Amino acid sequence: MINPHGSQEFNTLYISDDTERAQLIAEATSLRNIIVDSAAASNAVMLASGYFNPLTGYMSLADCLSVSKSMTTAAGLFWPTPVANRVNSADGLSIDQQIALKDPNVEGNPLLAIMTISSIDEASDTQISTMAEQIFGTTDRQHPGAKTFMEAGNVFLGGDIQVLNYSYFETDFPDTFRTATQIREQISANGWQKVVAFQTRNPMHLAHEELCRIAMERLDADGCVIHMLLGQLKSGDIPADVRDACIRKMAEVYFPANSVMVTGYGFDMLYAGPREAVLHAVFRQNMGASHLIVGRDHAGVGDYYGAFDAQTIFDTLPEGVLDIEIFKADHTAWSKKLNKVVMMREAPDHEKDDFVLLSGTRVREMLSEGIAPPPEFSRPEVAKILIDHYQIQA
């Protein structure tokens, strides 16, 4: 199986031993505690899950600046986006101090992790803006990822962490949330060698389903891991539990048994386009995938990125920084001429009207009105779940 990124052995930061975990929880009652923001909480979950291997905790400001500029830490590790714990004030905090990190996303703010502080640095507003421009390509606060990044605290707390739970992901999504280690173990148990990963933050329509099938066939892959984001999204996106139900139904009905794994990970969406696509590749390598599907406007939002910027960024990476390979996909849609889903670049004799194309706005309107999109666009079983969701929201 493909090696994890940056190391031979996994560096998972979750304390799995019950006795040790109970002892740390007890010790944490005497520690200074802070409620971290959602980005830091989801970073902790990703570190605990092995997705952010080989990192041992939150980056220092120097590492965040270096990663934002050149996609390498100060020590030279390839990494595409900062992994930070940012707060508004460091009053009362000191180097080598242990602090308890509380979860902002669970009622009562339970203990999430224990951190040993190794660096405390305050970034200037100029540094924050520069990093946002480098990561997101913009400082426009209409961009949801850039807005979140620019409005987080200016104080960067760097240091190793010991994670004591997986926040709400393990309890809210017990059948779907899986660590990188667990996915590796399942891939091995399945006997899969060549594995395609499909990233999604949306329900999967017919074109997405067929894209997975196309990639599997062309790569002669043993299986596909459909890996959905379970964390925070922008307003208007489909909630994770609804997406989960849609994807599970699609996989159950339309894929052969034991050909796909439906799983999820605990991270907040960055909407960072090309940079986030590279991050997706890093942690899909960590979970054991040999290939990642990168399609049109992967991890994008609005008109901030070119349609295929998330593919071309991989052509600029230094040789050997990643072992995972990219399956570059075009926009897929149903061809009225061929009576099947195709990648549009592979149908040069087609005009726009030869495809079944619906905008996201139109699809939401139809679902809100209780109208299922045509079967050339969405599976009826998936459409029913979405219609039920929109009817409840009405």
Catalytic site positions: 201-202
Distance CA 46, CA 266 (A): 6
Which of 118, 130, 182, 147 has its CA nearest to residue 37?
Answer: 147
**Contacts of range 303-310, beta carbons closer than 8 Å, 24 or more positions apart:** 304/136, 304/137, 304/138, 304/140, 304/143, 304/273, 305/137, 305/273, 305/274, 307/331, 309/273, 309/274, 310/273, 310/274, 310/276, 310/277
Phi first, then psi: give them for residue 158, nearest 5 degrees: -100, 150
Strand partners, 119: 158
Residue for token pair 């949801």: 144
Strand partners, 58: 159
User: Is the C-alpha dihedral spanning 347, 379, 259, 262 positive or negative?
Assistant: positive
How many C-beta neighbours within 10 Å does residue 358 have? Answer: 17
168, two tokens: 């709400």
